[in-house]
Structure formats: C-alpha cells, structure tokens
Structure 1
C-alpha cells in the first residue's frame, strides 16, 4: 500500500478525549485555527475515511471523496453518499484500490473505533492537536486503549510513531499540534 499515505487526525482534551459522553465534539474542544488546518488537510486528501456515526452526524458539504467504515456494508459498496467498507468482509487494500485507485493521501478523522482500526492497520502519520485546559468528564477517548497506555502520545509511540516538533496553532487558546510519523 505504499502508493497510499494514511494520516489520522484528532483534537483532544487534557484527558485524551475527542468527544463527550454523547459522542459529539463539545464546543470547549473546538478551535478555529485547528479547524482551518484540519479542513486544508482534508482538501488535500484523495479519500476521507470516517465511521458510520460520524458520517451521519457530519454531512459531506464539500463533496469530498468519502469512505464510510460500517458493519452494515457488504464488503465494499459504492452508494450515493460514498464508498461503504466493512473491514470484516474486505481488506483495506481492496477498499482503497476501489475508492482511491489513483493512490494518495488518505485522511482518517476518526471516531474512536475508526482510530482503533487504523492504529492496528498502521498510520503513516497521526496529526494530534491538543487543547490544554479542557477536560471532558465521562468523555470518549481518541483510542480505546489511550487511558490504559497512559496517554494518546504513549499509545502512538508504542505503535512505532515518533513525535515531530510541537507547533503552537493557537497559543492564546492553548492549542498545539504534534505530527506523529513513522
């Protein structure tokens, strides 16, 4: 799959969460500088991979090529709203060859289960933004095993990714970005 670069994306709280108990991103975690950078990364992607719930909650208003990870798909299916992929019935390589035959950047903005899946399949890079001073009680961690590992950063390191230099995206809001890469 060398013709593909798989990049994960998340903004997390101090307690490593991407969402509240309801599964939605709270306003306290949102940041305009991070959002602009994130949207530019999605614009560069040959394909954006999201989970079914994220797909249902976040309309594809920009019409980006999208692949939805769902057990409700029969392998790989082309539907009106994008490519649907069931990893239990088709490999990632098969899915990418159909959904992005030209190769290129594959952006994975998650949810937790999609992050877990691609952590096991192997991210080439993970763009980790952290908003300091925000804690999400009973929140959804970016990865299922983030807390067991001690932090998202430790989990990424344990999967062979190495931290680049942190970038201050919005110093006033306490938002930093670290790109973890192989």
Structure 2
C-alpha cells in the first residue's frame, strides 16, 4: 500500500539499460554533472529516500536525508547502526507505511533510487513518476539492469510501459544526457 505518498523513481542508465557494471558498482561513466544536479535537487525535496544497500548517493545532504535501506537481513524494521536518519527495512516483514512512520514520516514523496530489487519492488507498489536518464555513448555489457524484469532483451522503457507508465517528452541536458519522465496515466 502507498497511503498518502507520492512515489518517484530516479535512475541513469547506460545505452543498453544498465545502472551498474558487472561488478555491481556504478561506474564514473554514468556520472554527469547535469543529471547529478537534477538528481540531488529531487532528493532534497523528498520526504524519504528508498534504496538498496549499494545505492547510497553520497552527496553533501545524504546523511541528513531520511531513508529506508531495503534488506533481507532484518525481519521487518531495525535502526540502521550507521545512520540515525535511516531504518533497515524488509518489505516482506513490514509495510511501507509502517517503515516511513518509523522515520516520523506519514506522507510526501518517496524517492526510489535503486538498485534493481528496489526499483522492481516499487513497480508493484506503483510509481507516480519515474525519471529515467540515459548516458550517451555508455554501454555496460553484462552489467546490472534497472529492473529485474529486463530479461529477454527488454529495455527499462519496456518495463515502465508494461507497468502502466507513459513517457513524457525527451529532455536533453547540457552534457548529452537525455531524461524522460514516465508518469501514470490519469
């Protein structure tokens, strides 16, 4: 359930739909100043950030942001021993609303920042919007896809469309990055 939350996903992918290299880490080749600026602004406006344990965004405001770190290492909810503004959350053991309430948040925007398990989980919960950027000239063969559902040659766009989201216009950023906001049809 999503309660009084607006859920927005944020990802930059290679031309072949990957968010990380084969080693599971985001390479510098996917980091562009124009995209990073939009990303940081979006996260600063969010009430809660949802990410996997490898998806830490590492910006100046990161330690101050309230966040849910998705993990199977806890049965439901637990304090994050490394960050007082975070909770470790296992969605199989506790609801999204309860996880947010543990952070003192009962509504507002949840910014979903990955990885594939997290992006795919929120497909089922329902995105209101998904901001998908593509890095020009970057390919990551054998890399980590945005969504688990990308098997059999499906692109992130195919997965978003199958989830009922519609693409907006392509925005071209200063350094060649393209970004499309996918939104739920009214």
Give me the TM-score of the superposition, normalised by structure 2.
Answer: 0.88
1:134 aligns with 2:138: yes
TM-superposed CA distance for 1:144, in Å, is 1.3
SS of the residue corresponding to residue 55 of structure 2 reads helix
Match of 1:101 in 2: 105
> Considering only aligned residues, what root-mean-square deviation do their CA atoms show, in Å?
1.7
Q: How many residues align?
A: 178
Aligned equivalents of 1:100, 1:5: Cα separation in 2:
16
Structure with more helix by fraction: 1
Match of 2:66 in 1: 65
TM-superposed CA distance for 1:29, in Å, is 1.3
In structure 2, the gaps of 5 or more residues are none
In structure 1, the gaps of 5 or more residues are none
Give me the TM-score of the superposition, normalised by structure 1.
Answer: 0.90
TM-superposed CA distance for 1:103, in Å, is 0.9
TM-superposed CA distance for 1:2, in Å, is 4.4
SS of the residue corresponding to residue 50 of structure 2 reads strand
TM-superposed CA distance for 1:78, in Å, is 2.8
Aligned equivalents of 2:153, 2:46: Cα separation in 1:
30
Deviating runs (4+, > 6 A) in structure 1?
none
CA spacing shift, 1:100–1:126, aligned 2, 3 Å: farther
Aligned equivalents of 2:104, 2:8: Cα separation in 1:
15
Match of 1:12 in 2: 13
The Cα offsets for residues 108-164 of structure 1, whole Å up to 9 and x where unpaired, read as 110111111111221111000011221112111111122436211111010011111
Q: Of the candidates 83, 95, 103, which is equivalent to residue 91 of structure 1?
A: 95
Match of 2:114 in 1: 110
